[in-house]
Amino acid sequence: MLTVDFAPVALPATHALALLVPEGASPYGLWKEADEATGGAVTRAFAAADFSGKDGQTVTLLSPGAGLTRIIAAGLGKPESLSERKLEEAGSALAALLGRDEQAALAADGLTTAQALQAATGLVLRSYRFDLYRTKLKPEEKPKFARLLILTADSEAARAGWPRHQAVISGVFLARDLATEPANVLNPVEMATRIEALRETGLEVEIFGPDQMLDLGFGALMGVAQGSANPPRMVVMKWHGGEGKPVAFIGKGVTFDTGGISIKPAANMEDMKWDMAGAAAVTGVMSALARRKAKVNAIGLVGLVENMPGHNAQRPGDVVKSYSGQTIEVLNTDAEGRLVLADVIWFCQEKYEPRCMIDLATLTGAIIISLGHEHAGLFSNDEDLAAKLLAAGSASGEKLWRMPLGKEYDKMLKSDIADMKNIGGRPGGAITAAQFIARFVNEKPWAHLDIAGTAWASKDIATVPKGATGFGVRLLDRLVADHFEAA
């Protein structure tokens, strides 16, 4: 992660200077000072590029003088429509232009402290890279950008406010790292080990192995895991920062999904290394809450399995008994995430009595057909919880769209030989998957987030570089901060 520091407003030397320019504004502060120090170079560059500060506009000046390596600017759009999201996106646009600079100074003298921190957050989020396995990068391919200096009117207040933002960014980066790791490295055991290391943040961590889960009666989860040589794990993370019952987050953690006996097509199967993005997001948000010392009781549970077509793999037509005691006819072994969640969700409410439960899962391709990659699907049995999640999604930029539940969809899960089957056919596939999970909720306030379309970005998008997005960390942190955290 970039090193971020804060300083009073002054024109920097031997830095790149990054400007955030409102649409239609006249030169002010460091913008004006830099223009004067370079003999009007900034004004001339803006005019040549037809740059007026509109949302999404950028411009770059190389070696402009005054000891600066470059000046870059990003438009903020109209001042009256300035929002947290636009500040982050402008900061992100600057990050995309700073890869060749070792250090940069962000002129935030025209912003409030809160706005400066929001812009810096966007910049740092966009700077994420995962180069762990790249051994032959040419010098010009390696990023140099390592230090960001925020120049703001109240640098001490900004410095005091940054750790909260940094904690959330760390959680996002952790989730991205976990989802990006190849499946031959990050199997269920390895992921559990990495979560265990988060004890240093103050989290309590408990790990359940296959023998413990068999003793508990986790027949649904263990059925998914039985075809793999890599044994499953369930990990429970606890953060004690407040009073009362905890908020519970549950993540699907299929570290690789071949589909099992109902094997997936070979094309793009490599993407299934991030079928544990829900578990990664839960891990990231629990890390964030602990690092920022959130005033809330929270619990995160992740079911970690690998779905493989081994000699002992679950067969289509098998019947398993879930932890709840309900039986499931497994008609498609590629509808496995809901089986993992079934046991973990029932265990969560029985063991910890949470005030509400939110699960995250890359559950269905059907949600991508419905919503594309712009929104995650939100299913809920509780109007208040759904409204809070929608608001948190809008505020964080991790957008949700409410999807229906209903008895008509639930009837599609009727089995001829068991309490239910694990698929309901092609129509409404994301909905019937949610209906399946709802059978293990017991009317507890609950929401299911199908993040299959938002867990991975095929191109750079605002604060998210191409690759794992960490979707869900900022959303859930915002939910906690706005609605569950003690004042």
Reading the block at residue 247, the tokens are 């908020």
CA distance 310 to 330: 17
Q: How far, in whole angstroms, is CA 396 from its chain's centroid?
A: 11
Per-residue pLDDT of the chain (487 residues; tens, 9 = 90+): 899 999 999 998 878 999 999 999 999 999 999 999 999 999 999 999 999 999 999 999 998 988 899 999 999 999 999 999 999 999 999 998 887 788 999 999 999 999 999 999 999 999 999 999 999 989 888 888 899 999 999 999 999 999 999 999 999 999 999 999 999 999 999 999 999 999 999 999 999 999 999 999 999 999 999 999 999 999 999 999 999 999 999 999 999 999 999 999 999 999 999 999 999 999 999 999 999 999 999 999 999 999 999 999 999 999 999 999 999 999 999 999 999 999 999 999 999 999 999 999 999 999 999 999 999 999 999 999 999 999 999 999 999 999 999 999 999 999 999 999 999 999 999 999 999 999 999 989 999 999 999 999 999 999 999 999 999 999 999 999 999 997 5
Residue 264 appears among annotated catalytic residues: yes
Residue 329 in 3-state DSSP?
strand
Strands 446-450 and 376-380, sheet pairing? antiparallel
pLDDT score, position 487: 56
The architecture CATH gives domain 168-484: 3-Layer(aba) Sandwich (3.40)
202-223 confidence digits (pLDDT tens): 999 999 999 999 999 999 999 9
Strand ranges for 23-121 from DSSP E: 58-65, 68-77, 103-107
Residue 84 in 3-state DSSP?
helix
CA-based nearest residue to 291, from 165, 470, 125: 165
CA-based nearest residue to 388, from 466, 292, 485: 485
CA distance 108 to 35: 16
User: What's the maximum distance between 2 C-alpha atoms anywhere in the chain?
Assistant: 82
Residue written as token pair 């000699």: 311
Residue 338 appears among annotated catalytic residues: yes
Residue 418 in 3-state DSSP?
coil
pLDDT score, position 340: 98
CA-based nearest residue to 254, from 296, 208, 306: 306
CA distance 93 to 122: 8
Give the length of the chain.
Answer: 487
- CATH superfamily membership of 3-154: Leucine Aminopeptidase, subunit E, domain 1 (3.40.220.10)
Domains 3-154 and 168-484 share a fold: no
315-344 confidence digits (pLDDT tens): 999 999 999 999 999 999 999 999 999 999
Helices (H), 303-382: 337-352, 366-371
pLDDT score, position 412: 98
Q: Which residues contact 160 (CB under 8 A, 6 or more apart)?
A: none
First to last CA, the chain: 30
Alpha carbon distances (Å) from 18 to 60, 106, 302, 460, 476: 9, 5, 41, 20, 31
CA distance 62 to 64: 6
Q: What's 93's DSSP letter?
A: H
Q: Which residues contact 422 (CB under 8 A, 6 or more apart)?
A: 328, 329, 330, 331, 332, 335, 338, 339, 413, 436
- Cβ contact 463:89 at 8 Å: yes
CA distance 6 to 23: 26
Reading the block at residue 270, the tokens are 């490599």
Query: Of the listed 70, 126, 291, 338, which one is catalytic?
Result: 338
Strands 297-307 and 376-380, sheet pairing? unpaired
- Cα dihedral value 91, 94, 95, 100, nearest 10: -160
- Helix (H) / strand (E) containing 212: helix 210-216
- Cβ contact 69:16 at 8 Å: yes
Parse the chain into domains and list their residue ranges: 3-154, 168-484
| DSSP per-residue letters across 119-180 | HHHHHHHHT----TT-----GGGS----EEEEE-TTHHHHHHHHHHHHHHHHHHHHHHHHHH
pLDDT score, position 163: 97
pLDDT score, position 140: 81
CA distance 51 to 291: 40
Reading the block at residue 51, the tokens are 């740059």
Which sign does the torsion angle of CA 418, 423, 428, 432 carry?
A: positive
CA distance 339 to 15: 54
Reading the block at residue 284, the tokens are 């990231």
Reading the block at residue 225, the tokens are 């895991």
- Helix (H) / strand (E) containing 92: helix 84-95
CA-based nearest residue to 377, from 396, 397, 361, 355: 361
Query: Of the listed 85, 129, 264, 321, which one is catalytic?
Result: 264
Degrees, nearest 5: CA angle 10-14-19: 55
